[in-house]
Amino acid sequence: MYWEKDLETLPREELYELQKQRLQKTIQNAMRTPFYRRLFTREGINPEKIKTPEDLRYIPFTTKEDLRQGFPFDFLAVPLEEIVRLHSSSGTTGTPTVIYHTKDDLDRWTNQVARCLYMVGVRKNDIFQNMMSYGLFTGGLGMHYGAERIGALTIPIGAGNSKRQIWFLKHFKSTVIHIIPSYALLLSTIIRGEGLDPRRDFNLRIILLGAEPHSEETRRRIEDIYGAKAYNSYGLSEMNGPGGAFECLYQNGMHIWEDYYIVEIVNPDTLEPCPPGEPGEIVLTTIFRDATPILRYRTRDVAALIDEPCPCGRTHRRITRIQGRTDDMFIFRGVNIFPMQVEKVLMNIPEVGTNYRIVLERKEYEDTMRVEVEIKPEFFFGDLQKLERLRERIADELRAEILVTPEVVLVEPGSLPTQEGKAQRVFDFRRL
């Protein structure tokens, strides 16, 4: 039941020793990157003094903004010729955050994912249909190599194209799928629309849900629809991607592999550590990666640490499912979107008035995004055909920026609710 029993069940004192060793190596490695060299000099930190996970508190946090500003190579710790792959965060806000991997990095990441998959019962004789997008997004290739390492037949079908997904599910009798939760719900309606029954006509055993927040209720619903067990898989490209934290068979929180990361949970306001059980922002330090070491990365994802031992026998601690974000990013159909991206597009269009809002809903099983935009009176009460062309133009420009096509509704000036103080732009009615 373990992929690497010794490491997965390593007594905590030994795990701590391993973390210490790997952290010290990581700090040396970080000193090869322009970013951390500058940071340590500026803050007057002696790298030799950072020896234990507790010492991390002397180092300032690293943010997504730092990664962006460090584009392209400020976080690179190895010569360029050692790099064999790069990945990037989903969504399109400005400069992407790019993470580089050496051959060894990829090998370790593959192993990390294999550990997760094995933990939930994926085996050599499984047929694994990976419904995540292949490419810069880590959910495709990241999970792919882990499944191959276990020896499962791995189908790189990628995201979308529901008819083809269904054809493969039916004809290859896939036993494991990796899928975005909102898409799992949507796909089930398409399956039924084709006259098929997800329980009777397929052979699914295991569903891996990743890339976006979802509730326990959504998980149960998906399990019920497909007649398979569904496990939560958390990750972010800055920390490799899939394999970051993963549920075991007990479905009681996600284990974080502490031989790969040092995990902290901090209060997002005070930045002080939160005790176990208290939700805060997840902060991660890579300790098993060469090309792109990142120290104390603020993920912006909110969860609580679970300190109690898990009945599965693994000693690596767990986090709860993700409860929210400390910034205003939202995830629509697996794509990370910041309201500011929508605003930027809208405010560049002269006909657009001052107010807008983004409404997210779940209709049947389909997530929808509607952008309601107030139009200046001289345009709103003018030519109807012109107004329709304006609507199409706004939709096109939004699609170019955020990569998904929202429904755009033009509304009368002054008709949207206003708030005193901080404007609420996103109204998320999807029951998570």
Q: Check residue 212 for interaction with ligand AMP (CB under 6 A).
A: yes
Which letter, b or e, does each residue of 399-410 get, where b requires 16 or more Cβ atoms within 10 Å of its Cβ?
eebbbeebebeb
Closer residue to ligand AMP in complex, CB, 166/322:
322
Count residues binding ligand AMP (CB under 6 A): 19
* Cβ atoms within 10 Å, residue 74: 15
Out of 119, 169, 322, 346, the only residue in the binding site for ligand AMP (CB under 6 A) is 322
Q: How far apart are CA 53 and CA 20, in angstroms?
A: 7
Binding partner of residue 336 among ligand AMP, Zn ion, none, CB cut-off 5 to 8 Å per kind: ligand AMP
* DSSP structural state of residue 213: -
Residues contacting 366, CB < 8 A, separation 6+: 185, 186, 189
Q: How far apart are CA 229 and CA 250, in angstroms?
A: 11
Backbone CA torsion sign across 52, 55, 61, 67: negative
CA 236 to chain centre: 4
Q: Check residue 90 for interaction with ligand AMP (CB under 6 A).
A: yes
Binding partner of residue 180 among ligand AMP, Zn ion, none, CB cut-off 5 to 8 Å per kind: none
Q: How far apart are CA 177 and CA 417, in angstroms?
A: 42
Closer residue to Zn ion in complex, CB, 254/360:
254
Query: Beta strand 318-319 with 254-256: parallel, antiparallel or unpaired?
Result: antiparallel
Q: Which stretch binds ligand AMP (CB under 6 A): 63-71, 207-215, 378-386, 393-401?
A: 207-215
Binding partner of residue 322 among ligand AMP, Zn ion, none, CB cut-off 5 to 8 Å per kind: ligand AMP
Q: Which stretch binds ligand AMP (CB under 6 A): 47-55, 65-73, 100-108, 229-237?
A: 229-237
Q: In the bound complex, what is the minimum distance in angstroms from residue 121's beta carbon to ligand AMP?
A: 18
CB 176 within 8 A of CB 126: yes
Q: How far apart are CA 34 and CA 101, in angstroms?
A: 17
Q: How far apart are CA 69 and CA 97, in angstroms?
A: 9
Q: In the bound complex, what is the minimum distance in angstroms from residue 291's beta carbon to Zn ion?
A: 30
Q: Which stretch binds ligand AMP (CB under 6 A): 55-63, 145-153, 211-219, 358-366?
A: 211-219
Out of 159, 225, 236, 402, the only residue in the binding site for ligand AMP (CB under 6 A) is 236
Closer residue to Zn ion in complex, CB, 229/357:
229
Q: How far apart are CA 428 and CA 239, in angstroms?
A: 27
* Residues within window 273-302 making contact with ligand AMP, judged by CB under 6 A: 299, 301
Q: Which stretch binds ligand AMP (CB under 6 A): 46-54, 64-72, 197-205, 236-244?
A: 236-244
Q: Check residue 232 for interaction with ligand AMP (CB under 6 A).
A: yes
CB 138 within 8 A of CB 89: no
Burial of 241 (0-12, 13-18, 19+ CB in 10 A): buried
Closer residue to ligand AMP in complex, CB, 302/410:
302
Binding partner of residue 240 among ligand AMP, Zn ion, none, CB cut-off 5 to 8 Å per kind: none
Q: How far apart are CA 334 and CA 343, in angstroms?
A: 20
* Cβ atoms within 10 Å, residue 388: 11
Binding partner of residue 174 among Zn ion, ligand AMP, none, CB cut-off 5 to 8 Å per kind: none
Q: Which stretch binds ligand AMP (CB under 6 A): 18-26, 112-120, 152-160, 234-242?
A: 234-242
Out of 312, 319, 337, 398, the only residue in the binding site for Zn ion (CB under 5 A) is 312
Closer residue to Zn ion in complex, CB, 177/312:
312
Site string for Zn ion, 267-306 (x = CB under 5 A): ----------------------------------------
Which residue is nearest to ligand AMP, using beta carbons?
A: 90
Closer residue to ligand AMP in complex, CB, 154/237:
237
Binding partner of residue 312 among Zn ion, ligand AMP, none, CB cut-off 5 to 8 Å per kind: Zn ion
Out of 140, 235, 243, 353, the only residue in the binding site for ligand AMP (CB under 6 A) is 235
Q: Check residue 248 for interaction with Zn ion (CB under 5 A).
A: yes
Q: Which long-range contacts (CB under 8 A, 24 or more apart) does 242-246 make?
A: 242/113, 242/116, 242/138, 242/139, 242/142, 242/143, 242/146, 242/178, 242/210, 243/109, 243/112, 243/113, 243/115, 243/116, 243/142, 243/146, 244/284, 245/318, 245/319, 246/116, 246/119, 246/120
> In angstroms, what CA-CA distances link 20 with 6, 158, 246, 288?
18, 39, 23, 11
Q: How far apart are CA 268 and CA 336, in angstroms?
A: 20
Out of 138, 182, 240, 320, the only residue in the binding site for ligand AMP (CB under 6 A) is 138
Q: List contacts with ligand AMP (CB under 6 A).
A: 89-90, 138, 210-213, 232-237, 241, 299, 301, 322, 331, 336
Q: List contacts with Zn ion (CB under 5 A).
A: 248, 310, 312, 314
